[in-house]
A = this chain, B = another copy of it.
Amino acid sequence: MKSSQLFTRTRKQAPADETSKNAQLLIRAGFVHKEMAGVYAYLPLGLRVIENIKTIVREEMNTINSNELIMTGLQRKEVWDKTGRWNDDVVDVWFKSKLKDGTEVGFGWSHEEPIVEMIKQHINSYKDLPVSLYQFQTKLRNELRAKSGIMRGREFVMKDMYSFHNSAEELEDYYNLAIEAYKRVFNRLGIGKDTYVTFASGGAFTKFSHEFQTICEAGEDVIYLHRGKNIAINEEVIDDAVKELGIKREDLEKVNTAETGNIFNFGSQKADEIGLKVSGPDDKEQSVYLGSYGIGITRVMGVIAEKMSDDKGLVWPENVAPFKVYLASLGDNEQVTKAADELYALLQKNNIETLYDDRSVRPGEKFADADLMGIPHRIVISEKTIQAGTLEYKSRTGTDTKMITKQELLEILG
């Protein structure tokens, strides 16, 4: 895409009322717009990042035979009353309103109850299981405070997946498949090595649940790490876990983290409460076992913005970046424009997402924007490079430029 056709604007200063680093950077770089505290619109650059993250998550969920659907934002009281979670004393993040006839409605902060209710109409027999379903949904949560930018929004995008099984063992197997799928997701997102499968508080059926915690200074969680044994424990269960896992507390390192994913084993409790049963091989009613698996899509974006940035701006991993290449032509020289146009066409032909900065602004402004936006690869075409018969290349994280050929560029971009 050409810069002249992209709706974006970088700015020197973040708004004074924005205190979180991720939102400051994302606003300055033109990725998001703050509507109110914890509520952000995603501008074209930001939407591209979200879609890249979703694509990776979608591919990995499909790999474990999950089916994508989309539930509703509007929620019925009756469904949530079955588990007691309509009550504002039990769930304190509801937004609620009323239909014209006075019927109360809620706005989806989670979809566990409604998806269990929905599936009652779609399965009858043990033969219909297992089933796994997921969605990318905009969740609304009436948070008391929202000071972490897009890392904790009142409105945010989540991938939530639900799996339904005939037995605790079958659920356990799928749960483990999901852990592996999540690891692949975080690796592909570029934060794999800083993301830990973490023991967290469990439910009625399991001693622990599992969170995916990503090391992040601005994160709101604290975990204890045993780097040698690759064990991570949420501080909320540290006493139990140390005992259970037979490790020494003094070997653990305390770090700030953000919960980027979580998986939860409900056993048969949730389905029992909502009245979801299937007929078994003996024609008798039997329980259904539910697992629930979340990844915070916009939170992941915020965590990456927090972690992978420097004093010049954002530094997106390749798989997440809104564009892979920033192509800048310098000056109004006709030959330069022609060469830049040709390279842009070549990159497009090779399906390499390129932001072609065709604006008539000074080089320093183009370079500053490329850095602030965090595009991984920068190419410059100028009179100097044309005379040399090469291109000027710099990676976002590198310090030096180098002169390379088109062929070398295509190899770098792999």
Chain A residues in the interface with B (C-beta under 8 A): 5-7, 9, 33, 35-36, 39-44, 46-47, 50, 65, 67-76, 95-97, 99-100, 105, 107, 114, 118, 121-123, 131, 133, 138, 140, 142-144, 154-155
Contact = CB atoms under 8 A, between A and B. Distances in A.
A67 B40 CA distance: 17
B9 A74 contact: no
Contact of A142 (B50, B65, B73, B99): B99
Contact of A35 (B42, B44, B76, B99): B76
A138 B73 contact: yes
Nearest to A11: B121
19 contacts: A5-B65, A5-B67, A7-B133, A9-B122, A9-B123, A33-B118, A36-B74, A36-B105, A41-B114, A43-B69, A44-B69, A50-B70, A73-B155, A74-B140, A95-B105, A97-B107, A97-B142, A99-B142, A100-B144
Contacts of A68: 44, 47
A76 to B, nearest CB: 6
B95 A155 contact: no
A50 B135 CA distance: 14
Could you say how many copies of this chain the assembly holds? 2
Given A33-B121, A74-B140, A7 B155 contact: no
Contacts of A7: 67, 69, 122, 131, 133
A73 B73 contact: yes
Closest 9 CB pairs between A and B? A7-B67, A95-B97, A44-B67, A35-B72, A41-B71, A39-B74, A42-B70, A100-B144, A9-B122
A154 B75 CA distance: 12
A130 to B, nearest CB: 11
A112 to B, nearest CB: 14
B95 A69 contact: no
Contact of A154 (B46, B67, B74, B143): B74
A74 B155 contact: yes
Nearest to A114: B35
Nearest to A78: B36
Given A5-B65, A33-B118, A39 B72 contact: yes
B69 A155 contact: no
A339 to B, nearest CB: 24
Contacts of A74: 35-36, 39, 140, 154-155
Contact of A70 (B41, B71, B72, B118): B41
A42 B67 CA distance: 12
Contacts of A46: 69
Nearest to A38: B74
Contacts of A96: 97
Nearest to A36: B76
A69 B9 CA distance: 14
B155 A72 contact: yes
A138 B96 CA distance: 17
A46 B96 CA distance: 27
Contact of A140 (B73, B100, B123): B73
A148 to B, nearest CB: 16
A138 to B, nearest CB: 6
Contact of A69 (B39, B42, B75): B42
